[in-house]
Structure 1
Amino acid sequence: MEWQLADAKNRFSELVSRALSEGPQRVKRRNDAVVVLADAEYERLTGNRPGFKHFLLHGPDLSGLDLSRDRSPMRDVNMEGDKGE
């Protein structure tokens, strides 16, 4: 449901009740808008995502990944700007 700011202020209790029972409620002020939603819905949307440190420490097993560097000689590069002559 969409509310005008003045209505949302005057009927705040109803706004919160509807956010809990019906889902997110949009409150508009001129060209701006905010959304009021239940905490459970907020947690569902944002999730409890692990941090980067947790990912590094508990991420996928990379033990089978070959990270060795190719030590073969590199190709020759003409540094004089050969233009295909």
Structure 2
Amino acid sequence: MRWQMQEAKQRFSEVLRAAEAGEPQIVTKHGTEVAVVIDIAEYRRLRGEQVGLMEYLRVDPLGDVDLDAEIDRRREQPRDIDLAG
């Protein structure tokens, strides 16, 4: 989402909620991008700081992975295993 600086100031709570939800918020001044508001866990990850597991998972680390991608799987049946023996 893009915000003009004046609007971002007026609706700062909304800007923060969206950033916390993992949606970077870009702030512009006279049409030029001047800042981005991101979740603190994402900021720490980008800086290379260690992040706790729960913070890491909140950032959605698989957000750029296409979960609908076709996966090639073997079509043959699994081998028989004698468990009695």
TM-score normalised by L of structure 2: 0.52
Percent identity among equivalent residues? 43
Match of 2:9 in 1: 9
Divergent runs of 4+, >2 A: none
Quote how far apart the aligned CAs of 1:23 are. 2.1
Match of 1:33 in 2: 34
Structure label with greater radius of gyration: 1
Match of 1:45 in 2: 46
Q: Kindly indicate whether the alpha-carbon contact (under 8 Å) linking 2:22 and 2:39 is maintained by their aligned counterparts in 1.
A: no
Quote how far apart the aligned CAs of 1:33 are. 1.5
> For 1:69-84, what aligned pairs fall within 5 Å after superposition?
none
Letter in 2 for 1:2: R
Structure 1 gap segments, 5+ residues each: 50-85
In 1, the alpha carbon distance for the partners of 2:6 and 2:19 equals 17
Structure 2 gap segments, 5+ residues each: 51-85
Cα RMSD between the aligned structures?
Answer: 1.6
Quote how far apart the aligned CAs of 1:32 are. 4.2
In 2, the alpha carbon distance for the partners of 1:22 and 1:40 equals 9
Count of matched residue positions in the alignment of Structure 1 and Structure 2: 49
In 2, the alpha carbon distance for the partners of 1:35 and 1:11 equals 15
